[in-house]
Chains A and B, each alone.
Chain A
Amino acid sequence: MLGYFWSILDPLVMAGIYWFVFTVVFKRSVGEDPYIVFLLAALLPWMWFNGAISDCTRAFLRESKLIRSTRIPRTIWVNRLVLSKGIEFIAAIPVLILFAVFSGATINADAVFFPLAILIQAVLTAGVGLIVAPLVVFFRDLERAVKLILRFLFYASPIIYATSDLPKELHFWAAFNPLSGIFSLYRAAFFPGELDWFIVSVGAAMSVAFLGIGLLVFSRTERAVLKEI
């Protein structure tokens, strides 16, 4: 119960800060109303992605003893992280609904795409995790690099803003960040205008590609990882 509380608190505090900065301090020109729902609809799934990937950097190093003596399929050590953070996300959805109800946002029919967004995000997160986890074993510096990249990605993804708030010439390129499509699918449940099938399909294709590359990297490095840990 306490663990659940902490997993919710982190995104809530973040959302609270951004909400304050962008609606009270600055005069907000991005996103949609109510802004807190707009924020949370992307911030909660971001926490899933961010948490799973940063845990993946230690997936092999932390459990090395256990991994060295068990022969279960090694992808489990990555997938369990993706799954546990995913469950935390799903458990946080009621909080999102609560905020939507109290701030007067309306939930529309596009909410049926929520499971699709979860699926695409699971594919993407597992794919990136399968790339990151084995490589960190060989290049320990990568752990810090990943943290930096994640922080960059937070601002490079439509979390505090929407893809449509970007300059026109960047729209096309933003689609190649798979998180753009995923977040637009989540947000469509409250803001139908956020749904852009071009961005979603490019994001889905990129996610599948990431999973493919991840499986390839993982199977190619598995031997060496087992020797190293």
Chain B
Amino acid sequence: MSETVISLNDVGIRFRRNRRSRRSFKDLFASTRRRTRPGEFWALQNVSFSVQRGEAIGVVGRNGQGKSTLLKLVTGVVLPDEGTVNVIEGVAPLIEITGGFVDDLSVRDNVYLTAGLHGMTRKQIDSRFDDIIEFAEIADFIDTPYKHLSSGMKVRIAFAVISRLEEPIILVDEVLAVGDKAFREKCYRRIEELLAGGRTLFFVSHNERDLRRFCARGLYLDKGALVLDAPINEVLDRYNAEYGIKPA
């Protein structure tokens, strides 16, 4: 049961700070050296950890410290500039608020597209479609283009689909914060069900109660480095000590 499903080895990724900084053809073919070019910064560097199947991990850190980038690396939608990312099982990511849904397609088409890209057959999706729509509570808008939905509804349908995929690893970014209280509670109950079913969870949140509720282990990211990898309570204590609002 305790098999390593995710392992990151000395991972680093850098981004350009300035979109306009000139990029030359030569740049594209230069091998990825460790050197930082002007106008670039390391979003993450020297990050190493591994995750066993069934673990629930909370990622903590201030805005812009690399939390979402870390989830994207685990999903495999960005590639590291150094080090290696090994993920041996399928990943269901809810990273961007849009969950990779296409604006111009209807809700129905989006459900089929996303589930299809995660390897589900048309039959499997058919059998779950009503369930997904019911969970998201948007039966009236099945044929509405995705772009016309409110942001809360977008998150609802995205979460409903992602949590119904047959992928053993689930990544949930802060996006759930957009949903209303009742829906959030519904999502959390679903997450608990999934965890009980042996899924592996990555959870990013700024809400301590939620983090403590799901996660046993925490990762604390600061200034592009993995500062602490420890039980969630320890991680939250350290985070609060460094950045929390001090009681007056």
Which A residues are within 8 Å of any B CB, using their own CB?
63, 65-72, 138, 220-224, 226-227
Query: Quick check: B79 and A72 within 8 Å, CB to CB?
Result: no
Query: Quick check: A68 and B81 within 8 Å, CB to CB?
Result: no
A223 CA / B117 CA spacing, docked (Å):
21
Assess A71 versus B28: contact at CB under 8 Å? Given A65-B100, A66-B102, A223-B81. no
- Determine the residue in chain A with the shortest Cβ distance to B103: A65
- 0 or 1 for each of B200-240: is its CB under 8 Å from A? (1 = yes): 00000000000000000000000000000000000000000
19 A-B pairs (CB sep. < 8 Å): A63-B102, A65-B101, A65-B102, A66-B117, A67-B77, A68-B77, A68-B96, A69-B96, A70-B77, A70-B117, A71-B75, A71-B76, A71-B77, A72-B117, A138-B28, A222-B79, A223-B32, A223-B78, A224-B28
Selected from A63, A66, A69, A223, the residue in CB contact (under 8 A) with B79 is: A223
Assess A227 versus B99: contact at CB under 8 Å? Given A72-B117, A220-B28. no
Query: Quick check: B103 and A69 within 8 Å, CB to CB?
Result: no
Query: Quick check: A138 and B23 within 8 Å, CB to CB?
Result: yes
Q: Please give the distance in Å from A143's CB to the nearest CB on chain B.
A: 16
Asked if B15 is at the interface of the complex by the 8 Å CB criterion, the answer is: yes
Q: Please give the distance in Å from A67's CB to the nearest CB on chain B.
A: 8
Asked if B91 is at the interface of the complex by the 8 Å CB criterion, the answer is: yes
Query: Quick check: B100 and A66 within 8 Å, CB to CB?
Result: yes
Report the interface size class on chain B: 20 to 34
A226 CA / B81 CA spacing, docked (Å):
12
| A-facing residues in B130-167 (Cβ within 8 Å) | none
Contacts of A220 in B (CB 8 A): 28-29
Asked if B93 is at the interface of the complex by the 8 Å CB criterion, the answer is: yes
A82 CA / B99 CA spacing, docked (Å):
27
Q: Please give the distance in Å from A159's CB to the nearest CB on chain B.
A: 31
Given A69-B75, A69-B93, 12 more pairs with CB closer than 8 A: A63-B102, A65-B102, A66-B102, A70-B100, A138-B23, A138-B28, A220-B29, A223-B78, A223-B81, A226-B79, A227-B16, A227-B78
Contacts of B117 in A (CB 8 A): 66, 70, 72
Selected from A65, A67, A138, the residue in CB contact (under 8 A) with B98 is: A65
Asked if B95 is at the interface of the complex by the 8 Å CB criterion, the answer is: yes
Q: Please give the distance in Å from B42's CB to the nearest CB on chain A.
A: 13
Selected from A66, A69, A227, the residue in CB contact (under 8 A) with B95 is: A69
- Determine the residue in chain B with the shortest Cβ distance to A72: B117
